[in-house]
Amino acid sequence: MTPNGSNGARPLIGVTTSEVRRAETVRQTPRSEPPRIEMALGLIYLQALEAAGALPLVIPPMAMDAIDPLLDRLDGICLSGGPDLDPETYRAKPHEELGPIEPALDRFELAVAGGADRRSVPILAICRGMQALNVVRGGTLHQHLPALPGKLLHRQEEPGDIPTHPVTIEGPSLLAEAVGAGDLEVNSFHHQSIDRLGEGLQVVACAPDETIEAVEDPSRPFLVGVQWHAEAMAARPQEASLFERFVDAARRPAAAPAA
């Protein structure tokens, strides 16, 4: 099957979702279906991608043997934000402040990300998504960022469209081409962050406290991760440009899968 983006149509971009809502925590809407386990994903991811020219598709958790047929049909992958990753995925013991985790879902999402990476499918990874990408590449995470000395507040109370701290974007890089080199004010909603960098990834932005805020693989047409929630700021020209460049990359034919 020919991917949608390779024939000039709007590229089909899969968006992972990793936030689980248990039936006992879901309040039933009057006259609706009974409470049950749900997956949650902010509509702003889909809106940002659609505004950039893509056809976004939410990826639910599926059987592992569905991943290759899924990737056969997708032109790009957006790894979304969400809860903490299971430290078992990078062979670490749980920190006492680790948040709720979903190990089975983590394994599926990491398999999707790894499969897309091997195929050189364009990837835009956001917040937890950037951390997942780092783990796929063999990296590790700081499990509880507030425990590290001298760190900024990285979980803001302000709305997502309000920036609360700067990051410095380095060039030349794909990210600098999209949003510009130098300082950029961003939002911040993460509990974890990159510790050991994954293989082949390059740090292209940091916060003033040296927290890694963006990574990319310069050998790929488009593989970019940002720690801030770019989708919540897609009304700004910088983030709009980031989504547009991602979608443009997804329009090009994908390379053959790596051996």
Catalytic residue numbers, as ranges: 127, 229, 231
Angle of helix 128-136 versus helix 103-118 axis, rounded to 10: 70
What are the tokens at 245? 């460049």
Chain position carrying tokens 């030349």? 172
245 Rama sector, left if φ>0, alpha if ψ -120 to 50, beta otherwise: alpha
4 CB-near residues (< 8 Å, 6+ apart): 10, 11, 12, 55, 73, 75
Q: Classify the phi-psi angles of 131: left when phi > 0, otherwise alpha if psi is within -120 to 50, otherwise beta.
A: alpha
